[in-house]
Amino acid sequence: MKTYTKPVVNFNKDGNTEDVKTLEDIDTKTLFRINPNYLLRQVADDYVIIPIDDELELSNAIMTPNRSAVFIWNEFLDANTIENVVKKALSKYDVSEETIRRDVRRFVFESLNKKIIEEVN
């Protein structure tokens, strides 16, 4: 199994967004997916998230996710639930279910507030 590190996405710009939900309000069975106006690219050994729409709040931001965040990102490229991502992460990483569940929910929460991830109806 791979070593797990807390998923982190570093932003070079602070967004002035209002919280979409509180962390506790996020349903782990709701479908979410990455907003198609953001792309993940690998540059050498690092990754960057690139906004491709000038109208986005983070259009001038450079986001640098760590490898755990990249794993979660890739799981949400297609519509997926937090529950499914947690199960997949548990089979890949040596980490407690409590830790991965908390971190995936936090990733979704922060990404919803930045409009990087969206709820699928």
Q: Is 14 among the domain residues?
A: no
For residue 7, tell me if it sits in a domain.
no
Residue 74's CB is within 10 A of a number of other CB atoms, namely 14
3-state secondary structure of 48: strand
Asked whether residue 59 is assigned to any structural domain, the reply reads yes
pTM for the structure as a whole: 0.80
Q: What is the pLDDT tens value at each position of the chain, 121 positions in all? A: 777 877 766 554 444 444 456 777 788 899 999 999 999 999 999 999 888 876 656 666 778 899 999 999 999 999 999 999 999 999 999 999 999 999 999 999 999 988 899 999 8
Range(s) of the domain holding residue 111: 29-119
Give the total number of structural domains in the chain: 1
